[in-house]
């Protein structure tokens, strides 16, 4: 399900103390999407539900309706895409 090239919160460029763009729970795992490095991609992280430490899973690309990433399964990306689309629509 998750990539084997994971980074812990200490090694990641993601600031887990700030608010994420979206958070979604799928199968007892929390996922969050944050703005990525230099604003060119989104950073996707996860943690087991009920824990504190996030693990960076990989970068995602947004094409305006779908979040794409090789690091995560399609069904997880579908859930994140729906949440991200709703969050972006709320900003308009």
Cα-trace Rg, the chain: 12
pLDDT of 27 above 70 = yes
What would the pLDDT profile of 28-72 be if each residue is shown by its tens digit? 999 999 987 766 689 999 999 999 999 999 999 999 899 999 999
Kind of pairing between the strands at 7-8 and 67-68: unpaired
What would the pLDDT profile of 1-20 be if each residue is shown by its tens digit? 444 444 444 455 788 989 99
Q: What is the pTM of this model?
A: 0.82
With left for phi above 0 and alpha for psi between -120 and 50, is residue 39 left, alpha or beta?
left
């Amino acid at each position: 399900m998750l990539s084997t090239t994971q980074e812990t919160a200490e090694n990641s460029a993601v600031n887990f103390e700030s608010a994420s763009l979206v958070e979604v729970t799928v199968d007892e795992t929390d996922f969050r999407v944050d703005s990525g490095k230099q604003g060119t991609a989104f950073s996707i992280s996860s943690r087991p539900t009920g824990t504190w430490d996030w693990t960076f899973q990989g970068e995602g690309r947004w094409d305006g309706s779908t979040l794409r990433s090789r690091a995560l399964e399609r069904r997880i990306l579908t859930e994140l895409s729906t949440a991200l689309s709703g969050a972006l629509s709320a900003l308009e």
